[in-house]
Structure 1
Amino acid sequence: MTLVSLRGSWSLVLGVSGGMGAAIARALAAEGGNVIGVHFDRAAGREQAAKLADELRESGVEAHFLNLNIAAPSTREAVVAEIAERTGGAGVRVLVHSVAFGSLVPFLPAEGAAKAITDRQMAMTVDVMAHSLVYWVQDLHAAGLLPRGAKVYGLTSAGSVNVVPSYGAVSAAKSALESHVRQLAVELAPAGVAVNALRAGTTLTAALDKIPGSAEYAERCRERNPHGRLTETSDVGEAVVLLSSSDSSWITGNVIGVDGGELVVA
């Protein structure tokens, strides 16, 4: 396995405006990689994304962010055309799917609560957080923008195997995402493209804050992590750089833990 430089390469980060996506974009830029980012935010999120894009440009790389609905076919069409133009048809070295947009509603109404998840909320959560990865890969592959040596990452969590209150729909989405990663890995193997899921440990992000009881959950995870701390978004960015610094597609079809051993401790 020969290590290669990411300098001058292009990456597409879906969910770039905060959390894991922003940290991964920073890590790629620190290696000299250019970033095209997609996010779907209101005013505060748009401002945060704009500041990040400026930060990346100041480091000497190109950064082009679009505030569009990641799950919309029209977005994929526009972004694929943008990638083809900016990369001169060379395509992206790295595709990151870090999309946190789903319903945190219990399957059954809890005592004192009137609402349970609806079929529309369930379908939307799984479509945006899981199925959309497949559609992005389909469109990039069809356009010839996933060259040999490219890496595809879907961001998953321990919630795919553990039960967390109100996390049921997202858990289903993460499980589906991991299944999609395995299927894509097999189908893209002849093209020399690696596909993996990165299972980040518990990380203090805006997405975590939205989960009911997240503060108590995070503290329990901190106490049991053998490193004595929670995962940081920079840990995930570092993992993406490390795994992407090779043309080999032999590490593929996996769920790779980036959690300091959090999940293996009972």
Structure 2
Amino acid sequence: MDHRVGEDYCSVRELTMLVPLKGSWSLIFGVSSGMGRATARALAAEGGNVIGVHFDTAAGQEAAEKLAAELRERGVVAQFFNHNVASAATRAELVPRIAELVEGAGLRVVVHSVAFGSLLPFLPPAEHGDTITARQMGMTLDVMAHSLVYWTQELLAAGLLRSGAKIYGLTSAGGSRVIPHYGAVSAAKSALESHVRQLAVELAPRGVAVNALCPGTTITPAFRKIPSARPVEDAELARRNPHGRLTQPEDVGEAVVLLSASDSSWITGNVIRVDGGELIAT
């Protein structure tokens, strides 16, 4: 029986038509390390041009420059900016420069992989001890969550987000679990996931998909900064995953490439786990 209904019918092939990433443009926040760096490499391997924003001291700046040179060796454009992603001045400066770089092409992929926040308890663990301040709480949420909204607003206004574009926010299991010293970051991750849902609905008429990616336990520089993570052995963490290994930043980069290889915006508003089954096995 033919279930087609007039012109509303379209085939699975039409919904999932693959589009090469070669020559496309991506914008990655947090490009200099961890998942941002791995995603930049994965997109460049497909022939995609990469614009990166990071906020680093001298050592991080050197690492970013080396990464940009590595990507250029693949024959793609790699332009990085060492700026504060949460600053309104950064957006005012960089959005016009991004528009010049892409030369009317628009952005195919936007990745928000920013790990910069306060890792302090809400209450003192003993009679004395530092606790998070209002300024630190606000900064953590502004950098790790709200900045995604502000960038999306300005990129859209500049005509850089068009049908087929994909936006990804990086969240974590800490968004729904209590981890020592992680309270402010957990709040930021929860806010980020909420922003993703809201942006997905508001951008749906424009054909732009917005999702959050939730990797499994991944040993990145940001992970090592969590005080409660320091005594945990990598081997112990790996045993919790049915694959017998930890999630790698490259797993996230691969997921971004796979999810971005179609103009369809039908996968949107989700928190997509990229964890090898870690959550369901623990």
Partner residue of 1:239 out of 255, 258, 262: 255
- CA distance in 2: counterparts of 1:218 and 1:146, whole angstroms: 39
Aligned to 1:193: 208
Cα distance change on mapping 1:129 and 1:218 into 2, 3 Å? farther
Instruction: Report the Cα offset of residue 12 of structure 1.
Output: 0.3
Assess if the C-alpha contact under 8 Å between 1:83 and 1:92 holds in 2.
no
Assess if the C-alpha contact under 8 Å between 2:239 and 2:245 holds in 1.
yes
- The answer as to 2:121 corresponding to 1:106 is yes
State the secondary structure of the residue aligned to 1:257.
Answer: strand
Cα distance change on mapping 1:217 and 1:200 into 2, 3 Å? farther
What pairs up with 1:154-169 in 2 under 5 angstroms? 154-169=169-184
- CA distance in 2: counterparts of 1:63 and 1:100, whole angstroms: 22
- CA distance in 2: counterparts of 1:87 and 1:129, whole angstroms: 26
- CA distance in 2: counterparts of 1:25 and 1:175, whole angstroms: 25
Instruction: Report the Cα offset of residue 92 of structure 1.
Output: 0.6
Assess if the C-alpha contact under 8 Å between 2:42 and 2:257 holds in 1.
yes
Aligned to 1:264: 280
- Identity of aligned pairs, percent? 70
Instruction: Report the Cα offset of residue 238 of structure 1.
Output: 0.1
Aligned to 1:67: 82
Per-residue deviation, residues 120-165 of structure 1 (Å, max 9, x unmatched): 1111000100000000000000111001100000000000011111
Letter in 1 for 2:250: S
What pairs up with 1:140-179 in 2 under 5 angstroms? 140-179=155-194
Aligned to 1:251: 267
- CA distance in 2: counterparts of 1:204 and 1:138, whole angstroms: 32
State the TM-score, normalized to the length of structure 2.
Answer: 0.92
State the secondary structure of the residue aligned to 1:263.
Answer: helix
What pairs up with 1:225-236 in 2 under 5 angstroms? 225-236=241-252
Instruction: Report the Cα offset of residue 89 of structure 1.
Output: 2.1
- Between the two proteins, the alignment pairs up a number of residues equal to 266
Instruction: Report the Cα offset of residue 258 of structure 1.
Output: 0.2
Coordinate RMSD, CA, aligned:
1.1
- CA distance in 2: counterparts of 1:222 and 1:103, whole angstroms: 27
Q: Any gaps of 5 or more consecutive residues in structure 1?
A: none
- CA distance in 1: counterparts of 2:185 and 2:17, whole angstroms: 37
State the TM-score, normalized to the length of structure 1.
Answer: 0.98
Assess if the C-alpha contact under 8 Å between 2:121 and 2:132 holds in 1.
yes
Per-residue deviation, residues 86-139 of structure 1 (Å, max 9, x unmatched): 111221100000000000001111126521111111110001000000000000
Instruction: Report the Cα offset of residue 221 of structure 1.
Output: 3.0
- CA distance in 1: counterparts of 2:279 and 2:224, whole angstroms: 20
The structure with more radius of gyration: 2
Assess if the C-alpha contact under 8 Å between 2:181 and 2:228 holds in 1.
no
Q: Point out the more displaced range, 229-238 or 84-93.
A: 84-93
Assess if the C-alpha contact under 8 Å between 2:54 and 2:83 holds in 1.
yes
State the secondary structure of the residue aligned to 1:249.
Answer: coil
Letter in 1 for 2:254: E
Assess if the C-alpha contact under 8 Å between 1:10 and 1:34 holds in 2.
yes
What pairs up with 1:1-266 in 2 under 5 angstroms? 1-111=16-126, 113-215=128-230, 216=232, 218-266=234-282
